[in-house]
Structure 1
Amino acid sequence: MSTCPVCDQVIHADDAAFAHHVNAHFDEAPLDLSGSDAGGPSAATLVAHNDNQFLGHEPAKADTACFVCGTDLSGLSELAANAHVSDCLDGGAGGAPEPDFGEEDDEDLYNSSQDEAVQHARKDRTADGAWDGAAFAARGGGTDKAGKGDKWWDPVRGSLGAGAVPPNFSPGLIPVLQSLLQRSAESGNTRSAVLAKNGVHIRGSWGFDGTWGCGYRNGLMAIATTWATYGPVFQGDPGVRAIQTWIEDAWRSGFDVAGKEQLKGKLVGTRKWIGTTDLYAMFSALGISCTLYDFPKPSDRRTDEPTYKILERWTRTYFDSDASQTGSTDDAFHELMRPAVRVGTKLPFILQHAGHSRTVVGYELTGKDFNLLIYDPAKTVPKDVREAGIGSLRLARDSPAASNGASPASPQPRGDVREGVAAADLSDSDEVTAGGWVRRKAKKDKGDKNDPLLSSLNVFRVNLGRWKAHTQYQVLAFDGRPLLGPRGRVARKVVDSVVVEA
C-alpha cells in the first residue's frame, strides 16, 4: 500500500490504480474527495439511491468476519469461509462444513513494501506534473499483489493450456451445466431448465477480496460474458482495481452523483463494497447498454405478493423471451416439442439482495420447486466441473466453425439437448403417441442421483423459496446491443430503474 503524496490517504492498490488516484488531483476536473458537488445531487438521484440503499453501498466490515452473522472466520481456510458465508446467505445457520473441492491456496495478497517508496513520491512525476507510475515501480516499491486473486484471463483468446487459466476462473460451464441438467432430467429430478447463452464463473479470493469483493467479481463476470462484443472498450486488463478506476472515472464524468456522495468520492485502493447501481454507472459511462430492475418490498407496491414470487416470474419471462420460444401457432404442440433443457439467447444478469450479489445464468424447475442457477463469487466450482468446462471450451474453439472465423456452436453434451430447429427432430428419448403427439418418454432410472458429478449441480442451484424472508431485490441485466452514443450515455447519468411490482 502507499500514501498519496497530495492528500496523505493510504491507497491499497497496484501502481496503475495508485497513479490514477494521484493524477486525479492534477486533472482539470479533479476528483472531489469530499463527496460533494456544486449545487448538490438532484432530488431524483437522491430518491433513487435512498430507495435502493439497502442494495448498493454497504459499510466496510472487518475482513475476517462473516458479513451476514458477524462470526470471526480468521481461523478458517478460504473454502470453509466461503462455505460459511454462502450458507448464511442461503438462509442456513452458518458454519457449513468445508466442501471437498480439492486443495486451494490461502494467501495474503497484499504487500506493504510500497511504504518504503513514499518518501520519493513527490519526485516521481513527469515534466507536466502527472504521476509517473513507471518511475515509482522502478524504485522497487512493490505492488498490490493480487496475483491469482485479481489476474485477468481473456475468455475469447486466452490460453487453455495446463495452468494457463487462473484458478478462480471457470470458463465453458454452460454446456457442462446443460449436460448435467439433462442427466438430472433423465433421472426424473429436473422437469425443465433454461440457461443463458454464455457465462464465466469468477470466484473471489479470500485473502484479497473475499469479504467485500462480490460486486466487483460479478462485474468481472459480466465483462467476461460480453468480452467478444465489448472487449475493446476496456483499456487494460479488467480487475477489481480497474473497476474501481472506471467507477471513479464515471463519477468524474457526472454519472451517479448520489453514489459518489455515498462512497465519499473515493474508491480506488479501498475495500469499499459496491452494488448494482455502481456497476450500472460504470457500464453506462463506458457505453455498454444495461438496465436496472427494482423489486420493492410489499409495503412499497400495490400488491402484497411475496417479492421472491415476483422475482421468480420475472426470471422465467426473462430467460424464456427469446427467438426460440416464439413463432409457434400451437402453444401446446410447441411446449411438447421443446426439449427439457435448453440454452437460450439471453445474457446472464446480476442479482443483488441483502448486501450480496450473484450472477444468474438460468433457472430450473424440479417438481414444485423453482431453482435459480447461479455463479456465486463466494463459491468454488468443483474441480471436475471446472475441468469439464475448460474441455468444452477447448472443443468449441477447435471446431470447424471456429477455424473458419464463425462463432462455434456449443459442443453437444450427453443426452437429447437441442436448440432451435434441431429441437423438432425426434431423438431416442421422444415417442409419438397414438394420437400423433410427440412427448418425452417416461424416465424411471434414478441411478444418476448418486452420480458425484451430477451432485455438483447443487453448487449452482438456489431454491428461491429459501429466500422468502428477503423482501427487496435489484437486477442488472445486459442486452448485448451496440455501444451507446453520446446522447444515450448522457441520458444515463442519473441512475434510474424499472420497478417490477407484479
Structure 2
Amino acid sequence: MLSVCPVCYVNVPSTELEWHANNHFQDDDFERDMLLAKKISLDIPTPRLMDVPICYESSEDFCRNAEYSSSNFKQNSTGLREVLLQEKISCLVRCQPKSTIYKVEGGLMLLLRRCLELESKTTRSIISGHVDHYESIESEDYGWGCGWRNIQMLSSYLLTQRKEARDVLFGGSGFVPDIPSLQRWLEIAWERGFDKPGSLSFNKEIYGSKTWIGTTECAALFSSFGLRARVVDFDSLPSEKGHFSGMIEKSVYGPMDKFLQRSRSDQESSLSHNVHYSKYKERKITGHQVLMEWVWNYFAHEAGRKLDNLQNVVLSQKTPLYFQHDGHSRTIVGIQMQKSVTGSDEKYSLLILDPGQRTRDLEKTLRDNNGWQKLIKRKVHTLKKPQYQLCYVDPGIASTKEWEDLKTIHSEYIRF
C-alpha cells in the first residue's frame, strides 16, 4: 500500500513513510536550503537534469508562497512544471537508498581476468573495467527485475570508470541506487520527454511495478542525464518486403517484450531512409555470427595495438553491453576469440554476467578457476532467439542541443 509523503507529496510504500519523511529534516542547515531554493525558483530553470537544486519543503508550501507565484511566473506553466520537477528530483537525490550488493574482494572482473589469462595462449579476450554483479533477489525482484539489475551493472561501471558520468548520474550521489529509486529516475526521464512513445506503454508510471523493461528504457534513463546511450537491433526475421539486408537507422521504443512482438509491417514503416550496406553481408558472415562479430569489433575498437602484442587479455575502454532478448536480459562484459584449427575462422564466446546467477557462486568458481566457463561464457550456438537488442553508452556529456536529440531513441538496425 502506498502513502503520500506530507513533505514532498511523493507516493511511497506505507512501511517506509516515516523513514522517508524523516529524511527531509536530517540536514541541520534546512533553513539555509530553503532560502537557496527560493532564489533558485526565481531563476530560469535549467534544461539539464544534471543540475539538481536544493529540495523545497513541499509543493503545497511552494505554491502558497506569494513570492514564488508572481503574475509573470503563473503565466509560465512550463516554468512551473520545471521547478516542481526539480523539486521532485532534489527530494529523490536526498532519499534514494544505495542498492545492497554482495561485495567481492578485488572485484569479479579482476577474478575473471586472472582466469582468462590462465587459458590457452591461442585465445584473445577483451573485457571491460570494473563491473559489479547485481543479482536478482527472490524476495525483491526475481522473475522481473533483470532489466533493472543490468542498469545497475552498467551504472557501476560508469560510476567507477568515467568521471563525467559520476558527476551527473543520480544527482551526483556517487552510488548505484536501489530499483525503486531507478524506477523514479525513469519516470523523471519520461517527464522530461525522453522516449515518449515508450513511456505511453507504461502509462508514464513504473514506480512499484513489476513490469519488464528493456534496452529502450535503459537508454532513456541514461540519456536523461546527458549520457550518450545507444541501441543496436539484431533481427533475423524475414521482412515482408523480402528484399533488404543491411544496416538501418530507425527510431525505437519499449518495452522490449512489446517491441519484439510488433508486426514486421510496423517495423518496416518505422524505418528511416538512412540505409547503409551491411559489411557483414559483404564478408559473407551470416546468422548469429553477425552479432558475435559486432560485439568483438565493439570491444576491440580502442584496443588496437594491444591486440597485436602477445597479451591474451586486453582491457577495453568500452562500457559493458545491456544484452536483451525476448524473456530475459543480461550484461556482456567482454568477448573471447579463438582461432579455429584451420586458422581461417574465429570462434567467439561472449563473456556475460547474468542477474539470475548468485554472486557468491560466480566468485567461488572464479577463485577456484573451476566451472566458471559454464556460468559466464556463451558461444554462438547458445544464441537461439531471432531478435536481440544491445545498449551501450558512448563517452562524454551531450550538449544542450544533443540532449534534446537524445529524447528520441534511435537504433542501428542490423538484419542477418
- TM tier, smaller: 0.5 to 0.7
Provide closer, same or farther for how the CA distance between residues 12 and 169 of structure 1 changes in structure 2, counting only shifts above 3 A: farther
Q: Could you tell me which residue of structure 2 aligns to residue 167 of structure 1?
A: 102
After superposition, where does 1:171-320 map in structure 2 within 5 Å? 172-185=107-120, 191-228=123-160, 229=163, 230-233=165-168, 234-235=170-171, 236=173, 238-300=177-239, 301-302=244-245, 306-320=286-300
* Unmatched segments (≥5 aa) in structure 2: 22-57, 64-83, 89-95, 247-280, 341-346
In structure 2, give the amino acid aligned to 1:485: S
Q: Could you tell me which residue of structure 1 aligns to residue 378 of structure 2?
A: 462
Q: Encode CA deviations 1:293-332: one digit per residue, 9 max, x unaligned.
A: 1112241452797542110110111111114337xxxxxx
Please state if 1:370 is matched with 2:348: yes
Provide closer, same or farther for how the CA distance between residues 290 and 251 of structure 1 changes in structure 2, counting only shifts above 3 A: same
Q: In structure 2, the residue corresponding to 1:185 is in which secondary structure?
A: coil
Aligned residues: 297
Q: Could you tell me which residue of structure 2 aligns to residue 484 of structure 1?
A: 398
Contact 1:250 1:281 in 2 (8 A): yes
Please state if 1:472 is matched with 2:391: no
Following TM superposition, by how much is the alpha carbon of 1:197 offset from its aligned partner in structure 2, in angstroms?
2.6
Q: Could you tell me which residue of structure 1 aligns to residue 315 of structure 2?
A: 343
Following TM superposition, by how much is the alpha carbon of 1:466 offset from its aligned partner in structure 2, in angstroms?
1.4
Contact 1:171 1:386 in 2 (8 A): no
Give the distance between the partners of 1:240 and 1:232, measured in 2 at CA.
20
After superposition, where does 1:42-57 map in structure 2 within 5 Å? none
Please state if 1:2 is matched with 2:6: no
Q: Encode CA deviations 1:270-289: one digit per residue, 9 max, x unaligned.
A: 11211110111111111111
Q: In structure 2, the residue corresponding to 1:212 is in which secondary structure?
A: coil
Q: Could you tell me which residue of structure 2 aligns to residue 352 of structure 1?
A: 324
Q: Could you tell me which residue of structure 1 aligns to residue 267 of structure 2?
A: none
Contact 1:255 1:281 in 2 (8 A): yes
Contact 2:102 2:360 in 1 (8 A): no
Q: Encode CA deviations 1:80-107: one digit per residue, 9 max, x unaligned.
A: xxxxxxxxxxxxxxxxxxxxxxxxxxxx
Contact 1:180 1:454 in 2 (8 A): no
In structure 1, give the amino acid aligned to 2:158: T
Contact 1:169 1:202 in 2 (8 A): no
Following TM superposition, by how much is the alpha carbon of 1:370 offset from its aligned partner in structure 2, in angstroms?
2.4
Q: Could you tell me which residue of structure 2 aligns to residue 152 of structure 1?
A: 99
Following TM superposition, by how much is the alpha carbon of 1:374 offset from its aligned partner in structure 2, in angstroms?
0.7
Provide closer, same or farther for how the CA distance between residues 367 and 239 of structure 1 changes in structure 2, counting only shifts above 3 A: same
After superposition, where does 1:81-100 map in structure 2 within 5 Å? none
Following TM superposition, by how much is the alpha carbon of 1:14 offset from its aligned partner in structure 2, in angstroms?
5.1
Give the distance between the partners of 2:112 and 2:179, measured in 1 at CA.
27
Provide closer, same or farther for how the CA distance between residues 275 and 128 of structure 1 changes in structure 2, counting only shifts above 3 A: same
Following TM superposition, by how much is the alpha carbon of 1:211 offset from its aligned partner in structure 2, in angstroms?
1.0
Contact 2:107 2:132 in 1 (8 A): yes
Following TM superposition, by how much is the alpha carbon of 1:482 offset from its aligned partner in structure 2, in angstroms?
2.2
Provide closer, same or farther for how the CA distance between residues 17 and 498 of structure 1 changes in structure 2, counting only shifts above 3 A: farther
Give the distance between the partners of 1:16 and 1:487, measured in 2 at CA.
41
Following TM superposition, by how much is the alpha carbon of 1:11 offset from its aligned partner in structure 2, in angstroms?
5.9
Contact 2:194 2:408 in 1 (8 A): yes
Give the distance between the partners of 1:170 and 1:379, measured in 2 at CA.
18
Contact 1:170 1:381 in 2 (8 A): no
Q: In structure 2, the residue corresponding to 1:178 is in which secondary structure?
A: helix
Contact 1:197 1:344 in 2 (8 A): yes
Provide closer, same or farther for how the CA distance between residues 16 and 221 of structure 1 changes in structure 2, counting only shifts above 3 A: farther
Provide closer, same or farther for how the CA distance between residues 362 and 388 of structure 1 changes in structure 2, counting only shifts above 3 A: closer
In structure 2, give the amino acid aligned to 1:353: H
Give the distance between the partners of 1:15 and 1:279, measured in 2 at CA.
28
Provide closer, same or farther for how the CA distance between residues 388 and 184 of structure 1 changes in structure 2, counting only shifts above 3 A: closer
Following TM superposition, by how much is the alpha carbon of 1:232 offset from its aligned partner in structure 2, in angstroms?
2.9
Provide closer, same or farther for how the CA distance between residues 311 and 457 of structure 1 changes in structure 2, counting only shifts above 3 A: same
Provide closer, same or farther for how the CA distance between residues 191 and 478 of structure 1 changes in structure 2, counting only shifts above 3 A: same
In structure 2, give the amino acid aligned to 1:324: G
Q: Could you tell me which residue of structure 2 aligns to residue 58 of structure 1?
A: none
Q: Encode CA deviations 1:205-247: one digit per residue, 9 max, x unaligned.
A: 1110011111111111111101032223212552211111111
Q: In structure 1, the residue corresponding to 2:356 is in which secondary structure?
A: coil
In structure 1, give the amino acid aligned to 2:99: W
Give the distance between the partners of 1:261 and 1:197, measured in 2 at CA.
36
In structure 1, give the amino acid aligned to 2:382: R
Contact 1:306 1:471 in 2 (8 A): no
Contact 2:321 2:331 in 1 (8 A): yes
Give the distance between the partners of 2:106 and 2:151, measured in 1 at CA.
15
Following TM superposition, by how much is the alpha carbon of 1:357 offset from its aligned partner in structure 2, in angstroms?
1.2
Identity of paired residues, percent?
A: 24
Q: Could you tell me which residue of structure 2 aligns to residue 498 of structure 1?
A: 412
Q: In structure 2, the residue corresponding to 1:489 is in which secondary structure?
A: helix
Q: Encode CA deviations 1:27-70: one digit per residue, 9 max, x unaligned.
A: xxxxxxxxxxxxxxxxxxxxxxxxxxxxxxxxxxxxxxxxxxxx
Greater helix fraction, Structure 1 or Structure 2: 2
Contact 2:349 2:378 in 1 (8 A): yes
Q: In structure 1, the residue corresponding to 2:351 is in which secondary structure?
A: strand
After superposition, where does 1:400-411 map in structure 2 within 5 Å? none
TM-score (norm 1): 0.52
Q: Encode CA deviations 1:376-400: one digit per residue, 9 max, x unaligned.
A: 11111345826988xxxxxxxxxxx
Give the distance between the partners of 2:18 and 2:154, measured in 1 at CA.
22
* Unmatched segments (≥5 aa) in structure 1: 20-123, 134-145, 154-165, 327-333, 390-451
